């Protein structure tokens, strides 16, 4: 019996992008009732997207984007963007595939790419019910609970 190939990859084709967006639609819009006008935004065109596949089936997704260059007043290291800050967003796994390690795989791959892109820190807005998941991956909570798209969240960050 051959086991289906399990992989997480950076989106490189329009078909992979459609697969990634399909997972977001299923999880955020259909399951969590996030309004479509909030789910899709201007950052989709500039972000790096990731999709997880169990065989030929897309089961998870994440997106990574730059939110700051990290340069501060008095920072004279001469490397613009060397301390870039990234934001990990839209991390989701289909309900039928939760508990199989896909979330961790997605975050690990996104963090590797973030390091390659020169990010020194990642931030994210975690739904409160998955805060402990991110803590287990080294993220620290940096805010009180706030609401985003009608769902309670906390801000978290991790140095890379």
Q: Output the pTM of the full model.
A: 0.88
In a domain, 21, yes or no: yes
Domain count of the fold of the chain: 1
Q: Between the CA of residue 93 and those of 30, 69, 96, what are the distances in Å? A: 13, 29, 8
DSSP state of 38: H
pLDDT at 78: 41
The tens digit of pLDDT for each residue in 17-75 reads: 999 999 999 999 999 999 998 899 999 999 999 999 999 999 999 999 998 875 544 34
Average pLDDT over residues 106-119: 95
In a domain, 71, yes or no: yes
Identify the CATH number of the domain in which residue 104 sits.
3.40.630.30
The Cα–Cα gap between 62 and 8 comes to 10
In a domain, 99, yes or no: yes
In a domain, 1, yes or no: no
In a domain, 153, yes or no: yes
- State which residues form the domain around 74: 6-159
In a domain, 34, yes or no: yes
């Amino acid at each position: 019996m051959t086991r289906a190939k399990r992989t997480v990859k950076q989106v490189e084709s329009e078909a992979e992008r459609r697969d990634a967006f399909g997972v977001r639609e299923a999880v955020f819009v259909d399951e969590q009732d996030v309004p479509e006008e909030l789910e899709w935004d201007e950052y989709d065109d500039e972000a790096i997207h990731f999709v997880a596949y169990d065989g030929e089936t897309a089961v998870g997704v994440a997106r990574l984007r730059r939110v700051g260059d990290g340069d501060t007043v008095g920072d004279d290291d001469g490397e613009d963007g060397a301390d870039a800050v990234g934001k990990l967003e839209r991390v989701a796994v289909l309900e039928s595939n939760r508990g199989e390690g896909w979330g961790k795989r997605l975050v690990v791959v996104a963090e590797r790419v973030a390091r390659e892109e020169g990010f020194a820190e990642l931030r994210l807005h975690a739904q409160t019910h998955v805060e402990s998941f991110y803590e287990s991956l080294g993220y620290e909570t940096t805010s009180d609970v706030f609401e985003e798209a009608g769902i309670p969240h906390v801000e978290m960050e991790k140095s890379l």
